[in-house]
Each structure stands twice: as C-alpha cells, then as structure tokens.
A = this chain, B = another copy of it.
Amino acid sequence: MSWEENVRRVEPYVPGEQPKRKDIIKLNTNECPYPPAPGVTAALERMDPASFRLYPDPDAKMLVHALAESYGLRDEQVFVGVGSDDVLAMIFLTFFQSEKPILFPDITYSFYDVWANLYRIPYEQIPVDEEFRIRFEDYRKENGGIVIANPNAPTGIAVGKKQMKDFIAEHRDVIVVVDEAYVDFGGESCVDLINEFDNLIVVQTFSKSRSMAGMRIGYAMADEKLIRYLLDVKFAMNSYTMNRPTLELGVESVRDEAYFKETTAKIVATRERMKTELEGIGFTCTDSKANFLFAAHEKIPAAVMFERLKEKGIYVRYWNKPRIQNRMRITIGTDEQMDVLVKAMKEIIGEEGSFDAKVSVEWR
C-alpha cells in the first residue's frame, strides 16, 4: 500500500494568464482599469502594521456590517470570504450534498464543474440556446441545486429580475445560487429577493466593479439560516479567512457609493462605444451587461486573432472549447486601451484577411 492511493485527484481550474511584462494591455481577467476608491488609499496610509500581530476579527464584523448597511440588509444576512471563488466553493460544499445532480448552463463560469468535481457533487450542464441564452424551461427536472451566473460569463448576457424571480419560485425545494459577479455593469440584482426566498443565495465580488481583485473579497447574501450554515462550515475550516488589511480597506470601498457609480458608469459607456466600433469592423457581439464583450469575427478565427493580439502585447481571453471556440472575451479597459485594441485589430484584419485570401487562391 502507498499513501498515493488516498490522494484526492482533481482537474484544477486554469486562471487567465498573469503576464510578468509591465507594458501589456491586460484585457484577459475582467479586472477594472480604474484604481480603488480614494478612501482605500487613505485607509492604507493610516494602517498600523503593529496591529498585524493580532488575529483579525473572525466574524469580519466591520466588513459584514458595511455591506449589510449598503444593501439595506441585516448583518446576519451577509457572509464574506476570500473572493467570490472562496464563497462559492464553500456554498458548493455546504449546500450540495444531494445524490441528485446540480444544474448549471453548459456555457458559464468554468469553475462550477471544477468545484463539483472537487467535492464529488453530481452535476448536469444544461445547454444554452444558439444565441447563448439560458433555457430556463430545461431546468424543470429533479436536481440537487441550481447555479446561474447573471449576467452569465463569458457571454455577458443578463436575465431580468422578473424572470429570475419566477425561476427561483419554481425551484423552492432546492438552493438556487445566483452569481452576480458582473451585475454592477447593467444587470438587475436579485438581492432584495432574499427576503422573500429562503432558498436563494446571491453572490457578489469586489474584484470587478470595486477594483479590488488583488484584495480578494467576495460575499454572499441570503436568508439568515443559510448564512448560519455557511458560517458553520467556514468555522470548521478556517476561523480567520479575512486578514486585517482586507477588512479595513474593504469597508472604505463599500462606503464610497459615488465613486463606485462613477467608475461602473464609465466602463458601461466604454463598453457600448466599443461594441459599436467592433461591429463596424466585422465583429458580432452578444448584448453584454458585464465589463467585457464576447465577440466573434466574420473572417478571422478567434484563435488567430487571440495569438496575433498577444504578439502585439494585448491579452484577451480565449477558450478552445465547443460552441465558443470562435469567440474572444475582451475585458473593458480604459478608452485609451480600447483605442489601441481596435487599431491592432484593424491591422490584423488587414494582414490576415489578405493572407487568408491568398492562401485560398493558392489552394483552390
């Protein structure tokens, strides 16, 4: 016998590349191009490193309270973790103990099946339609829980609150998780439905709309009872997940509602302008309500465009996967970065377009 027989073997998630070069235009992991709220800088300046010798508050009260206040909730309805990945992984472990499969779309955030595999949770991926829309009627079957990203990733397509509400009402006997990582860029949140549905968990993050991917903060909002179950699992794993800087800086971000609205509005404006420009040079885009576009070109294969952009120092995201292998996910950066991107794309279309034409002529 060997210890190797007792190892949990898993297929890990592969995150978007983090280039070491500093001159890269990085549009591959949906980070925000603007800095965090000014209050974050001020809090960092007054932070006392001597306090690091003490454990942080295991209940993360200051951050939980700031979030509850901001959403008009009670503290008991909020749970915080090390990014929404930490929160979602804990939700999978806590609530998906059924023998029946959990359900989520075939095209969605690619961590859901990774967590299901990690925790040996049976799952079924329900195909989205030809235009990448979630087919809610296909979820009417025996299941152990449901996970919907809204807006969905990497399509950016959002579902209205009315439709989400009907869907949640249809599945009251299982936990429905709504992953709202991208909701602040034009989606409709289901947060206030947690007062009505005790089977609903809404998950959000500081990584996109709050410019704090580097701080690792995610949170879940749900009925008090669900939050208590989550806390029990958290306290059975690691009492102190949120470190002191995270708690202090997170609070400052939540407090600055004006800055939050200003930066998210800027990103939405850039996205809409970009969408029009990309369509002008031969791209088809989904109607994204997120901080990215999901685009296919009429002539240049996405794999080629992706590689050529990379050569030019522009990183976007590409998956060589069925149904989406001719699309790129492009994070919305600053207007300046977007202009550089469009210029580069025009060059590539010019070069690859004529090269392709030549090749086809030679081969014909």
Spell out A's residues near B (CB within 8 Å): 1-3, 5-15, 18, 26, 29, 31-36, 40-41, 44, 47, 49-58, 82-83, 85-86, 89, 93-98, 114-115, 117-118, 144-145, 173-175, 199, 207, 211-216, 229, 231-246, 249
Contact = CB atoms under 8 A, between A and B. Distances in A.
Contact of A213 (B52, B173, B235): B52
B7 A94 contact: yes
Contacts of A7: 94-95, 97, 229
A89 B211 CA distance: 30
5 contacts: A31-B53, A31-B55, A54-B214, A82-B241, A86-B237
Contacts of A85: 237-240
Stoichiometry (number of copies): 2
Nearest to A2: B173
A6 B175 CA distance: 9
A57 B29 CA distance: 12
B235 A58 contact: no
Contacts of A243: 82, 214-216, 243, 245-246
Contacts of A36: 49-50, 52-53
A35 B49 contact: yes
Nearest to A216: B243
A201 to B, nearest CB: 10
Given A49-B36, A243-B246, A56 B145 contact: no
A168 to B, nearest CB: 12
Contacts of A244: 214-215
B29 A53 contact: no
A276 B235 CA distance: 37
B8 A93 contact: yes
A174 B85 CA distance: 31
